[in-house]
Structure 1
Amino acid sequence: MKPFSTNVAMFKYCLTLLIVVFTCTVTYSQTAFSNNPDSAVFLTKDIDVFWKAFDLFKKDTTVNPFGSAYLDIGSAGVKGFTPGRIKSAENLFLVVRKRRSDYEKVRATTLQMKEKEKQCRSAFYALKYWYPPAQYPPVYFVIGAYNSGGTFNEQGLFIGAEKQTDVSNIPFIVAHELIHFQQKNWMENPTLLQQSIIEGSADFLGELISGATTNKIAIDYGNKNEEKLCREFVTRIDSTNYIDWLYGVSGKDNHPNDLGYWMGYKITQQYFVKAADKKEAVREILDIKDYKAFLTRSGYLKEYLK
């Protein structure tokens, strides 16, 4: 056994090394992608690879080709979209067998997505104007298991092509995910207020840079029923139960899905409108640390929180 002093010295050395490694890792994750919109890569080749596997499936529906002919040879986009979404070759095989006709209906649409790169890149340039430090990761268009239209992680943006029935919406979906990529201060188990602002601000800023948002049903319903929804929302802002507001409805009434997006949009919109310096407002929206303070500064829901 080494003397105690030696062990302490070794501990301090290891601790210092860990701090250096951690700092370098964080720095790398924050600077891994360029802040030049021209640097962003739009990758659609996984769509073509999927359809080749799909055609193999049609020739013999008892054999699963989606491992060796798709997941195993797919890009980093397929690898990034697999956990929690595609899940596995076996899961994708089961979903394709069950929803074969749905996949066939969107085949032509998925093959048109590469045509939207120019419009997507225009949104990237718009973000550069509003938020100069923005980073532009790869955008991967992949085909999944009909459970996600889009997401992101530290490696890039992922668009679930099979969920997109209207190719004209692609720039708006990409813009939404691009805003998520810029957002800071992510947390575990966010409240309904926090998650609604996270999603709604991505819709608002995504619309600012691309010209539209895809949540038209929720927006139309929300605007027509604003007072009723505001009264309901303030009773649940601290809840972590999102039902009837985000990602699912109970069916208790005619609520459309994802009204939390609309609520977060309205809060963010009012914050932005009130701001004297709009670019500074964008920076603040992307770096919210206290969501209740943000709500208060926006002024939205003020009369319902008394």
Structure 2
Amino acid sequence: MAGVLDSVNQRTQLVGKNRLELLMFRLRGRQMYGINVFKVKEVLQCPKLSSIPNSRSVVRGVAHTRGETIPIIDLSMSIGLPGIPQEELGNSFVIITEYNRKTQGFLVTGVDRIMNMNWEDILPPPKGAGKDVYLTAVTKIDDKLVEIIDVEKVLSEVSPLKEDVTEAVLSKSAGREPANLPVLVVDDSSVARRQIERCLTAIGMEVVTKNDGKQAYEYLKEITGDGSKARDHLALIISDVEMPEMDGYTLVTKCKSDPALSDMFIMLHTSLSGVFNRAMVQKVGADDFMAKFSPDELAERVMEIIDQG
């Protein structure tokens, strides 16, 4: 799969333009799935896997590649489909990704191509899909439905993150004046929204949640429709980057160019933890960046922002 990844410089040109590159792949069957190329470090033929005693069945083993030992997760099995048979592993592929400060590989049956797309063409899952569905978005390519998997939900079940703020950090919040204004949290993953809301409510913050940048921007325009500023209504905004219809970079760009929203403190809080993300954050004018997900780091940073006014 040499050449699957474009250079960092090429990819950073998409920042703030509401565009993404989607790596297309298949699990078992004809259904096509997609993952943002920004999350992908490498794609390779499935290497020899070493088993891990007492691991979950969805973890097919570990691979040793480029000096790292990486867990390999059967993505089919993770979302409730039959797993890839052992005898087919040699013909399968591994998509090595970086999420939430960790590297892992996702086992898939085939990798197709990369598509350069507009986030406006990436839509939320159908409302009737249910809350337990493993999708954050869907799109159509060549008149065929492409499903974008909620990888954060998959990882939260395979390797749960610590979600609670520690007592040491909670003690810092105990003597503080309660915040008068809520925090706007923008994230397309229900798991991520729950994690962030749980963290912020633990330190006494009220939280308003929106599922994507478009929803958030419409909400911001609504609350400032009377001529007020966003700072009159919200303490800060914490936004994901990857979201259907409008991504976090574009949300920041639109906010910073709008007089009613431009002085709003916006933190991009993303599982895109690669080395090039800080340059992207600076390019669109975000006020802060934090890689997901450390409840203590997030809680302490939010308290610091609030105290600085």
TM range (shorter): under 0.3
Bigger radius of gyration: 1
- Give the TM-score normalised by the residue count of structure 2: 0.26
Q: Which one has a larger percent helix, Structure 1 or Structure 2? A: 1
